[in-house]
Chain A
Amino acid sequence: MIAIDSRGYYGEFGGAYIPEMLHPNVEELRRAYSEVWKDEAFQKEFRALLKDYVGRPTPLYFAERLSEKYGAQIYLKREDLCHTGAHKVNNTIGQILLAKRLHKKFIIAETGAGQHGVATATVCALMGMPCIVYMGEIDIERQAPNVARMRMLGAEVRPATSGSKTLKDATNEAIRHWINHPTDTHYIIGSVVGPHPYPDMVARFQSVISEEMMWQLEEKTGRPDPDITIACVGGGSNAAGTFYHYLNRRHVRLIAVEAAGLGVDSGESAATSVLGTKGVIHGSRTLLMQTPDGQIVEPYSISAGLDYPGIGPLHAHLINSGRAEAISVTDDEAMQWAYYLSRMEGIIPALETAHAFAALDKLEYKKDDVIVINLSGRGDKDLNTFIKHYDQYNK
């Protein structure tokens, strides 16, 4: 059985390694989240917003041309069609409702690609709550359209200028902000990372992805289980949502796709499960990229949403125990797929998502296997990058 224990561990990974200053906040959340999750009124409100505001259920689309090319039955779970353009909003809807129940007045978040920042700014606008989003200086530059969207939605975007100036340090800054504002602020974490209960809470909010996949597949193929599911992993929230209801259905293969950057051995990579060792990052015991002395390494990926030196504890456990398979995909392979998918299926994917597709070239599968790829987000935010490299990839 893959399950989380009462102290927030999946096997040896997880827990809450936090300074005492954070303890009351995290403890309050821990007490509240599973109660709230079981609460009927909460579920009703959550489901209603997912339906009418986010636009769920998202379609499960049979990609005919891709299927023909790869000799498999390839379905795309269209999280790119969620309001705001990615799966991130499933989680922010859940967390803002929780924050309201806890009578919080202010919302903070971190963001890498800006999708989680936009999704947070969106639900804050929806609920009329002030919102501060921490974003690395480098990411502010490479994801400019999302910065503009957050501002448009009334959020304040605060640059994280320390360390790597990307997602890792944006997360540090958000945590520090939370320490400084211990009673009135809720921190909406954007992935299945951080101290318990965040990884489990975010996974539950994202689990709607595989919940829908099950009945949609049943409708389309006659059985709820695919042979293979594929998702990209930054912190791992879209993957957690995609895998969630299949975790204990062992015949379903779970493929976690990590960003190899310039190559796993290049020194410029974010392939945590290959390059990482056991340690503690952002309050969670998991796999992370670090020096032998325990200094956290600055990762690299062209994709801001995958440029993170850790993975959520659930994924550390799944990969370490062999339940999930990890595959690494380079910048170059992901870029090729971004152009390719656009032409093949008329869908411009987010750069993060393009990594997941590249797994098709690396996987062994049987003819006519049912494969579901989670199309976690759309590529509008990456247009600058696509335009910049257009000639290089379209000769």
Chain B
Amino acid sequence: MNRIQQLFADKPADILNVYFTARYPGLQDTEPVILALDDAGADLIEVGMPYSDPLADGPTIQESGTAAIQNGMTLDLLFEQIQSARQKTEIPMVMMGYFNQVMQYGEEKFFRKAKEAGVDGLILPDLPVYEYEQFYREMVEDLGLAISFLITPQTSEERIKQIDSLSRGFIYMVSNSSITGAKKEITQTQLDYFNRINAMDLDNPRLIGFGISSHETFKTACQYARGAIIGSAFIKALKAGKEVRESTTQFVQKILNVTA
């Protein structure tokens, strides 16, 4: 069992997955952010691979990616930073990026490197399920990496089943058809969608992402899935804050509604 699967086996509810863009806000911040998230009580970390053209992301994540690229981010450096953080923490880590980045690095080399660095899972939102199944599934599964595919309120039942059969670890349940960082409140339509998915009896647990930004939205999401994913709101907190460790700790405590 890899660390993600272990987490879901051990923790029945309220799983907090926090996304951040690697090398943001500063060049050397990847490891400090990872360690601070772990210490503050996050359960899972999604390390964003900064990309020039992140189609599924809103302005907040796009700007952080642009800044990180200007900071001189390369995938080799990122693997080094993750590997170094991995010596100090056992928190499950997922790499999130776009397929073009993987393709340029070399698909097989990328998956191997990720595994070596101590990465547990992958999220590649624009990798089609067909191409994954045909060309990469065996490689990824043999390495023991857990890949999470996305579903949205518009995803058909048939397709959800296919996605469930290919996903390992968890399914990324997009709360609303939107890019990241868009909406703030959770509506009845969304609750109906969450309920519909819960009734499907899928193999994979779900984490709800997109638009989760506060303690309230996190708690609501946790009632309808095993946990939730927060991205843009954390990037904003990092941007506004002075010191990475302090802003990370405060942010996670606010989401979990605990004080140190």
Contacts and interface: CB of A to CB of B under 8 A. Distances in A.
Contacts of B198: none
Contact of A16 (B51, B128, B163): B128
Contacts of B100: 279-281, 290, 294, 296
A283 B126 contact: yes
- Interface size for chain B: under 10, 10 to 19, 20 to 34, or 35 or more residues? 35 or more
B53 A180 contact: no
A363 B134 CA distance: 42
B131 A163 contact: no
B182 interface: yes
Given A15-B131, A280-B99, A295 B58 contact: no
A279 B150 contact: no
B128 A182 contact: no
B105 A293 contact: yes
Given A20-B151, A20-B163, A295-B69, 12 more contacts: A7-B130, A20-B150, A20-B152, A21-B150, A21-B179, A23-B154, A23-B155, A163-B66, A180-B177, A182-B154, A183-B154, A293-B75
A175 interface: yes
A161 to B, nearest CB: 9
B126 A18 contact: yes
Interface in A134-187: 162-163, 168, 172, 175-176, 179-180, 182-183
Interface in B126-142: 126-128, 130-131
A176 B128 contact: no
A296 B53 contact: yes
Contacts of A172: 53, 55
B126 A280 contact: yes
A190 to B, nearest CB: 17
A71 interface: no
A19 interface: yes
Contact of B53 (A18, A19, A183, A281): A281
Nearest to A175: B55
Contacts of A24: 152, 154-156
- Across the A-B interface, the 7 shortest Cβ-Cβ residue pairs: A294-B104, A20-B150, A19-B56, A294-B101, A24-B154, A19-B125, A280-B100
B152 to A, nearest CB: 5
8 contacts: A20-B152, A21-B152, A24-B154, A182-B177, A279-B100, A280-B99, A292-B104, A296-B100
Contact of A18 (B52, B128, B156): B128
B112 interface: no
Contacts of B127: 17
Contacts of A294: 51, 75, 98, 100-105
A83 interface: no
Interface string A272-290: 0000011111110000001
Contacts of A277: 104
B105 A162 contact: no
Contacts of B51: 294-295
A280 B55 CA distance: 12
B174 interface: yes
Contacts, number: 107
Interface string B36-73: 00000000000000011101101100100010010000
A98 B156 CA distance: 23
Interface in B193-243: none
A293 B104 contact: yes
B1 to A, nearest CB: 26
B195 to A, nearest CB: 20
Contacts of A292: 104
Contacts of B20: none
A19 B55 contact: yes
B148 to A, nearest CB: 11
Nearest to B127: A17
Interface in B154-188: 154-156, 159, 163, 174, 177-179, 182
Contacts of B128: 15-18
B149 interface: yes
Contacts of B105: 293-294
Contacts of A183: 154
B74 interface: yes
A182 B152 CA distance: 11
A251 B127 CA distance: 38
Interface string A316-356: 00000000000000000000000000000000000000000
A182 B156 CA distance: 14
Given A180-B179, A295-B52, A17 B126 contact: yes
Interface centre among B75, B103, B131 (most CB of A within 10 A): B103
Contacts of B125: 19-20
B254 to A, nearest CB: 27
A295 B49 CA distance: 11
Given A21-B177, A293-B75, A280 B103 contact: yes
